[in-house]
Amino acid sequence: PEFLKSESPAPAASSPSPAPLTHSHHPHKKNKFLEAVHFTGSFGSGGWKGDATWTNEHGSTLAVGSKISRRGVDEIEAKAGYKSHDWQWVPDMEVGASVVPGQPGVKYSAKMSKVLHSGGLSPTVSAELSNSEASLGTSLSKELRDGVDVEVDVKMPISGGSRKADVVVDTKTTYKVKGGKLVGTLGGKASSGLRGVSYGVSYDLGP
Q: Where are the domains of the chain?
A: 32-115, 130-206
What are the tens digits of pLDDT across the range 6-21? Answer: 454 555 545 555 554 4
3-state secondary structure 91-152: CEEEEEEEECCCCCCCEEEEEEEEECCCCCCCCEEEEEEECCEEEEEEEEEEEEECCEEEEE
pTM of this structure: 0.54
What are the tens digits of pLDDT across the range 33-72? Answer: 777 888 999 988 889 999 999 998 888 999 999 999 988 8
What are the tens digits of pLDDT across the range 74-121? Answer: 999 999 999 887 777 889 999 999 999 988 889 999 999 998 876 667
Q: How confident is the model at residue 5 (pLDDT cuts 50, 70, 90)?
A: very low
